[in-house]
Structure 1
């Protein structure tokens, strides 16, 4: 982060105290939230927006993010590079034009018992086959550095994840179930506040575990249970909207 234009050592120290340690984590921050967390009279929303803007420019220069204004052919090239994760069903994949898109959010909706969690379990096994297992990444000198194998984060708010079910699905597909389970990082969540904190800190976990797919099953159940009645609807929707907006920003990078 030292290479970010106009960043001071004092700001760097404050960012690290907030556990923001990379350009990726900084680029997806909200200016208003960052200014509030730093809590410095000399670091207002405008300063935060300028800092985040400079950070995003670095990612744009390295072709990790799209330019602020892109031509149609640039966007077409980006679309053509998007890969898809299979659902495990050829018919379902055909319905989704090849499977679940990367760099996007996909919502699975349906009645209780309709198979939403089953799709998530199947996706865990199928998606791993498209991920790298060598954990190698090129550094600035063109040399390879060791990273964790690409992985999946499974955020579980309804206690639906079953490792034995993923094991069975992997065996049915002639995959190595133990390798797949080692690369799934599961977290049980018990309250809406815990879920919001987890989503807020998700970039750190994504970098730590070299994650390529995040599954949340489900994102609305805790808020639906805790914010009942029409009087709490506005707050519930606002808090859900904030989480979805953060997930959208994470997916963009």
Structure 2
């Protein structure tokens, strides 16, 4: 059976600072019925749609990167009701999210609402592309975004069953206690995010490391197969025993 073709996708790590405490991240729990990462805690995101590419054509720059940013903005609003990368009236956000989820084009909706995209509000953080899978493979670009003031996430009730704010270490602790499931890329990103004391620190780290496509590989170390990633991209943990790694 041939390996699946990679699907372009994007996700947003939405962060909000807390005085004297580590930042919190916006997390969603995927529904058990989903074909990819069912039941896992993930950052909001999804595949890049043709409509995202149409909107991306209005901006200068790498069209694939811009389309992924547009998709990240759209998916975060659809999945969690949180508007990052958007200038839009606060009262319009719930209606926008519902109509986007129903399939209406974002460009037309923003025009009606008097809003605009702010793709520069997203900072590239990472890019992950696994290989060797026979299920869906996503070529996923990760972005950082500051949480809007008074952002109140909302469960979409279809793709996810829970949406909440939590510190990176708290999510890792929940997974280690068997109270949550996180897949390999999410765990590695949470470990990296747990080292930051603020959103500004996370952005500085992202700008200080090149965004290279991360394709994990299997390597035998001390007689045990490990799933590995490069060690120069800012991740504090770069290998995990293959038998312990959770893959979607």
TM-score exceeds 0.5: no
TM range (shorter): under 0.3
Question: When the two structures are superposed, what TM-score results if normalisation uses the length of structure 1?
Answer: 0.24
Q: Which has the higher strand share?
A: 2
Q: With CA pairs under 8 Å and 6+ residues apart, which has the higher RCO, 1 or 2?
A: 2
